[in-house]
């Protein structure tokens, strides 16, 4: 039977790492090893949630095996491919941590960068720590497409985020509660979080070449739809509202009770 302190460690992690995966059976095992090496030597209780986005290879079998070896690695699997935004949303909903961190499942994000981002939040520097890749290790088409999309998003939303497409990030779980859920949402996390009044900071992170598997990126499935979605976020920003409550019956009652 599992001892109570160990049981509590698994049930109430401080950090939840969410990783969407789609046909990444070659990348899952080495990424699992890196995550364990980084977080086992750190000060946090943690869990890792793998979200299988309708893989057609052996990805699900890989993460099932990881869970059987180490219950801190949990998983959910979609019955069909739903996209990265849905996978992240499902992972956030499944997570139990006070702080959530994300990585891509292709091995290009470095798990060793996450402790720095998590520490920025714990030290009170920000609510979301967003990584930006100092040296992209992608092909020319992807780098050009990403630069176009990133520049257009910043222009349209009036927000300057160095690298909106970087999945190496960490944030308080409150940042993603009650966000609108739509396809493409993941491309606008920093903008949507900032609209809610949260503080965002940025930090340099490592970016690695893809050594295994094949990229799912193409101009057709990422660039044009991302640019189209930007108009929706632009509308949302223009129509968003916020307010501060000056007084209420609750506060009046509390003052009355304290004076009795």
Q: Cβ neighbours of residue 151 under 8 Å, at least 6 residues apart?
A: none
Instruction: Report the percent of the chain where pLDDT is more than 70.
Output: 67
- Looking at residue 136, its pLDDT comes to 66
Average pLDDT over residues 235-258: 61
pLDDT category of residue 7 using cuts at 50, 70 and 90 = very low
Strands 73-77 and 128-133: unpaired
Spatial separation of the C-alpha atoms in residues 241 and 236, rounded to whole Å: 10
Which of 58, 74, 78 lies closest to 66, judged by CA?
74
pLDDT category of residue 90 using cuts at 50, 70 and 90 = very high
Spatial separation of the C-alpha atoms in residues 223 and 217, rounded to whole Å: 9
pLDDT category of residue 83 using cuts at 50, 70 and 90 = confident
> 227-236 b/e with 16+ CB inside 10 Å = b?
bebbeebbeb
Average pLDDT over residues 155-162: 59
Spatial separation of the C-alpha atoms in residues 194 and 11, rounded to whole Å: 30
Phi and psi at 79, nearest 5°, equal -75, -20
Spatial separation of the C-alpha atoms in residues 68 and 54, rounded to whole Å: 20
Q: What is the set of domains in the chain, with CATH numbers?
A: 10-136+160-214 (3.90.550.10)
Its pTM surpasses 0.75: no
Strands 128-133 and 169-172: antiparallel
For the chain, the distance separating the N- and C-terminal CA atoms, rounded to the nearest angstrom, is 54
pLDDT in tens, 186-209: 677 888 888 788 999 999 999 888
Instruction: Name the strands in the sheet holding 46-52, side by side, starting at the edge strand that comes first in the sequence.
Output: 73-77, 46-52, 15-21, 99-102, 169-172, 128-133, 200-205
- Looking at residue 232, its pLDDT comes to 57
């Amino acid at each position: 039977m599992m001892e109570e302190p160990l049981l509590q460690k698994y049930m109430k992690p401080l950090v939840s790492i969410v990783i969407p995966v789609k046909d990444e059976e070659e990348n899952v095992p080495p990424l699992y090893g890196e995550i364990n090496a980084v977080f086992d030597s750190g000060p946090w209780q943690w869990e890792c949630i793998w979200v299988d986005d309708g893989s057609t290879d052996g990805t699900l079998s890989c993460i099932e095996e990881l869970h059987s070896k180490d219950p801190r690695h949990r998983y959910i699997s979609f019955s069909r491919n739903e996209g990265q935004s849905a996978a992240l949303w499902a992972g956030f909903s499944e997570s139990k941590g006070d702080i959530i961190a994300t990585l891509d499942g292709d091995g290009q994000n470095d798990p060793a960068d996450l402790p720095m981002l998590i520490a920025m939040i714990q030290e009170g520097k920000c609510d979301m720590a967003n990584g930006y890749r100092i040296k992209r290790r992608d092909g020319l088409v992807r780098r050009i497409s990403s630069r176009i999309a990133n520049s257009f998003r910043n222009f349209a939303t009036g927000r300057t985020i160095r690298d909106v497409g970087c999945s190496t990030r960490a944030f308080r779980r409150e940042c993603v509660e009650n966000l609108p859920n739509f396809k493409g949402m993941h491309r606008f996390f920093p903008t949507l979080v900032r609209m809610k009044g949260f503080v965002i900071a940025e930090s340099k992170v490592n970016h690695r070449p893809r050594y295994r598997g094949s990229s799912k990126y193409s101009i057709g499935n990422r660039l044009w739809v991302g640019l189209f979605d930007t108009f929706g976020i632009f509308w949302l920003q223009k129509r968003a509202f916020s307010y501060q409550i000056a007084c209420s019956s609750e506060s009046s009652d509390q003052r009355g009770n304290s004076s009795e």
